Amino acid sequence: MEQLPWLPPHPDLGAAISQTKRMDDPLARLAEAIRLAGYRRDFILTARLDKLVTTGLAEHAAAARLTPLRVALLSSHTMDHLLPAIRVAGLQRRLALSLYVAPYGMYRQALLADDPALNAFAPQLVVLALDARDAPLQVPLQASPAEVEAAVRERVDELRLLWRRARERYAAQVVQQTLVPADPPLFGSFEALVPASPLALIERLNTAIRDAAREDGVLLLDLAWQAAGYGSGLADPVRWHQAKQLISPSLSPLYGDQLARVVAAATGLSRKCLVLDLDNTLWGGVVGDDGVDGIQLGQGSASGEAFLAFQRYAVQLARRGVILAVCSKNDLEVAEAAFAHREMAIERSAVAAFVANWDDKAGNLRRIASLLDIGLDSLVFVDDNPAERDIVRRELPEVAVPELPEDVADYPARLAAAGYFEAASFTADDAGRGRSYALNAERKAALSQASDMDGYLRGLDMVLRATRIGAAERVRSTQLINKTNQFNLTTRRYTEAEMARIADDPRAIALALRLEDKFGDNGLISVVLARPDAAIDTDELLIDSWLMSCRVLGRQVEVAVLEILAAAAQAAGWRALVGEYRPTERNGMVAEHYPRLGFQQRPTPTGAEREASFWRYELASRAPLNHFIQVQA
């Protein structure tokens, strides 16, 4: 089986790894290893890459702009041979993964007993990697559906207990691996009609696990859904009897990528924007030469139907929250005219950023990121031209550029297989994200035509609504806190369980803020977490996290947010707010945030990070705050 086919091939990855190994500078060696992780690799090359970065990864993670994360692997099958693949796949997804592996088969004891080693590791994410042979359901073949349901419920209740313990003890995000059938069918095609047959039991158990995970906020590593694409390497009886390996070593790069993409989604590192070329990518032919009626699209030819199918897949992605953009070497008027084609599935209004000119595509991708107020590392660029793909990979390594198959009919499957848009949740805000970014472009256009800023802001008719973070707001708030980098005062990352722990503290103030204006609903645009802290005075409330979407910058939203926070803190009896700023490579835009709002610098508390600065805001003597936003708290 071809390994990681969405990644480009390297002419000689082995030689490149050898050359990287000779680098003296550990940070340069790590940076090159991250780049090389973006090429196709097998089990051996993956292990060699892992050796380059095993030591010093945590030390240099921040400088390499990697997100560090501690992941505990609790399994009923052997995992040691998978660790290099998991770490290298993490690098490719901008993660510095520290891995802890519980002793084989001891996953229950690790969570239900007081495991000193696991406690010392303090996992932020716990993976329960179970297999179908572990504790099989003890029901006779002739069992009734009711008896099967009782056995399934008992097993799922045990898993839910383990999930609960992981959250309570470590405030960890839990990932549950679904079960891959290990034994051949007994009844052939009749198997599913016998409730207690081996495959029917596993199917019913997986369904119950998925239902429980959705209710309990647990993520899935759904190997059962992926198994068909793995071939015989999953649940290979030879490997199982030799070493209790569920996953064949030859398939470890694929398994590592499957787990890394779930972990990346849980930490807010999934991509958010699909940037599409036009000619021979969204339709066959060149619209400037062939005309709108001459391009291949829709019924009439196999290739036309394949292009239409790819467009429909892009539309489906947009409906689940992926932003659509266009980057094409074309005349703008000619390119936009093609969207009037009678069989065009993508509407022009669905494209949040449309850039068509004769400039280089790397520069245009930078322009798209700027227009949308997102980072280059949020972009996935799809282009049929191998030369354009190669140029963008070289010039913009932050942009994901999938290697495409020869036939456009395979584009949807290849893009899906790459897992760039892996999700950790799905909310109404997600579904409307593309429209929200398109509306923001309209706001920018209105700003460019405004004669004065105050008049523009007053005319937006903005309404800011603040809600205390509860169960309904927790998922989306966790999303925002994990993916916001620029307007983020501390860039602390929290799992949903950790968010719940802060928000449920009656002494804390945890706010989710939404903004509406005359153009529409901006959705959730800011999260503020303020809590008591032993390092500061007992009458001061520490602003643990304050982050805001960049698409609402320049509208005085931060002033209105402070007004809401200060009023809530004063009503709760606090005398002052203490703001903390922890500088990173990407949040320099908020370096002066607190002094601009009237905070006064205070001494750094004992034990705080050396680079952090702290700022105090006296509540009793605070001056009125001026803005053009109606506040509803």
Model confidence over 96-144: pLDDT tens digits?
999 999 999 999 999 999 899 999 999 999 999 999 989 788 899 999 9
Q: Per residue in 368-378, pLDDT tens?
A: 998 888 899 99
Neighbouring-strand partners of residue 175: 127, 219
Alpha-carbon distance of 619 to 530, in angstroms, equals 14
pLDDT at residue 227 above 80?
A: no
pLDDT of residue 62: 83
Mean pLDDT of 229-242: 72
pTM of the entire structure? 0.85
Alpha-carbon distance of 289 to 461, in angstroms, equals 46
Q: What average pLDDT does the structure give for the chain?
A: 92
Q: Which CATH class is domain 273-418?
A: alpha beta
Mean pLDDT of 294-310: 93
CA distances, 590 to each of 33, 408, 610 (Å): 32, 44, 18
Q: In this structure, are strands 323-329 and 67-75 parallel, antiparallel, or unpaired?
A: unpaired
Q: Where are the beta strands (DSSP E) in 482-538?
A: 509-517, 520-531
Superfamily the domain 67-266 falls into: SGNH hydrolase (3.40.50.1110)
pLDDT of residue 57: 85
pLDDT at residue 224 above 60?
A: yes
- Residue 618: pLDDT band with limits 50, 70, 90: very high
| Burial class of residue 386 in the structure, from the number of CB atoms within 10 Å of its CB (0-12 exposed, 13-18 middle, 19+ buried) | exposed
pLDDT at residue 19 above 90?
A: yes
- Residue 155: pLDDT band with limits 50, 70, 90: very high
Residues 6+ apart with CB under 8 A from 79: 73, 101, 129
User: Looking at the domain 452-632, which fold is it?
Assistant: Aminopeptidase (3.40.630)
pLDDT at residue 1 above 60?
A: no
Residues 6+ apart with CB under 8 A from 435: 520
- Residue 451: pLDDT band with limits 50, 70, 90: low
Q: Per residue in 404-430, pLDDT tens?
A: 999 999 999 999 999 999 999 888 888
Instruction: Give the residue ranges of DSSP H helices in 373-490.
Output: 386-395, 411-418, 428-431, 433-449, 453-459, 471-483
161-165, 439-443, 452-456: range with highest mean pLDDT: 161-165
Q: Per residue in 484-529, pLDDT tens?
A: 888 999 999 898 888 999 999 999 999 999 999 988 888 899 999 9
434-443, 494-503, 568-577: range with highest mean pLDDT: 568-577
Q: Which residue would you say has higher pLDDT here, 243 or 592?
A: 592
Sequence ranges of the domains in the chain: 67-266, 273-418, 452-632
Q: Per residue in 75-90, pLDDT tens?
A: 999 999 999 999 999 9
Alpha-carbon distance of 207 to 226, in angstroms, equals 15
Mean pLDDT of 257-286: 96
Alpha-carbon distance of 139 to 137, in angstroms, equals 6
**Nearest CA-CA partner of 494 in 262, 503, 120, 486:** 503
Q: How many CB atoms lie within 10 A of CB 628?
A: 18
CATH topology agreement for domains 67-266 and 452-632: no
Mean pLDDT of 311-323: 96
Q: Per residue in 371-400, pLDDT tens?
A: 888 899 999 999 999 999 999 999 999 999
pLDDT of residue 228: 61
pLDDT of residue 496: 86
Q: Per residue in 603-615, pLDDT tens?
A: 998 878 778 999 9
Mean pLDDT of 51-63: 84
Q: Are the beta carbons of 191 and 200 closer than 8 angstroms?
A: yes
- Residue 44: pLDDT band with limits 50, 70, 90: very high
pLDDT at residue 301 above 80?
A: yes
pLDDT of residue 532: 96
Tell me the three state secondary structure of residue 465. strand
